[in-house]
């Protein structure tokens, strides 16, 4: 396992991971409308990328796959 600073090139993969995780994990605790609102809160890659790039965000990965 390795840790490195977040880079703009990570945006698409991390956004997809976030959305998938929200839809799988949170569906037991929230209704469908709430889950979708949360999972789709960031409509564009730029909306997703900006807060991550402007904060102390890191990527954890193993064998070139984000975890």
DSSP per residue, 15-51:
HHHHHHHHHHHGGGTS-HHHHHHHHTS--SHHHHHHH
| pLDDT at residue number 18 | 93
CATH number at residue 17: 3.40.630.30
| pLDDT at residue number 66 | 65
Q: How many CB atoms lie within 10 A of CB 52?
A: 19
Look at the chain and report how many structural domains it folds into. Answer: 1
Q: Are 6 and 54 a contacting pair, CB within 8 Å?
A: no
| pLDDT at residue number 67 | 62
Domain hosting residue 36, numbered range? 2-66
| pLDDT at residue number 27 | 87
| pLDDT at residue number 63 | 82
The per-residue pLDDT string of the chain (67 residues; one tens digit each, 9 = 90 and over) reads: 999 999 999 999 999 999 999 999 998 899 999 999 999 999 899 999 999 999 999 999 888 776 6
> What's the chain's Rg over C-alpha atoms?
13
């Amino acid at each position: 396992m390795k840790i490195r600073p977040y880079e703009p090139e990570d945006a698409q993969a991390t956004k997809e991971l976030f959305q998938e995780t929200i839809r799988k994990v949170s569906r037991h605790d929230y209704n469908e409308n709430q889950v979708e609102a949360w999972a789709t809160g960031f409509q564009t890659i730029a909306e997703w990328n900006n807060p991550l790039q402007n904060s102390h965000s890191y990527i954890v990965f193993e064998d070139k796959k984000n975890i």
